[in-house]
């Protein structure tokens, strides 16, 4: 699972740090239009989640802080997982 999670985590952090658009948003808008619906401006997060996850007026500083928090959390979790693997290896040997 690590090899699936790490690229997804890096992608999420890059989107937060650089404000890149998510390609899945463009795919969703294309599918909505193909179904005869009206697309929407902005991204998926702005349309569905911004009111739930972010304050009304999020600043770049807050967005960078959130991305950094994701990064630090992942580093700490992977350090703990690695330590457990190392301990398990020593216990077996």
Distance between CA atoms of residues 67 and 48, nearest Å: 19
Tokens, residue 33: 């239009």
Distance between CA atoms of residues 33 and 41, nearest Å: 13
Q: Is the pTM of this model over 0.85?
A: no
Distance between CA atoms of residues 89 and 93, nearest Å: 6
At 73 the pLDDT is 94
Name the 3-class secondary structure at 22. coil
At 16 the pLDDT is 76
Task: Give the total number of structural domains in the chain.
Answer: 1
What digits encode the pLDDT tens for the residues 41-83?
Answer: 877 777 777 777 666 777 888 888 888 998 999 999 999 999 9
User: Mean pLDDT over all residues of the chain?
Assistant: 83
Name the 3-class secondary structure at 43. coil
Domain that holds residue 34: 2-92
Tokens, residue 80: 């703990």
């Amino acid at each position: 699972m690590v090899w699936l999670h790490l690229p997804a985590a890096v992608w999420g952090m890059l989107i937060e740090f650089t404000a890149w658009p998510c390609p899945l948003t463009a795919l969703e808008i294309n599918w909505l239009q193909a179904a005869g619906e009206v697309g929407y401006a902005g991204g998926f997060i702005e349309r569905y989640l911004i009111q739930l996850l972010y304050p009304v007026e999020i600043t770049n500083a807050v967005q960078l802080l959130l991305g950094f928090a994701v990064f630090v959390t992942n580093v700490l979790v992977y350090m703990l997982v690695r330590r457990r693997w190392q301990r398990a290896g020593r216990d077996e040997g």
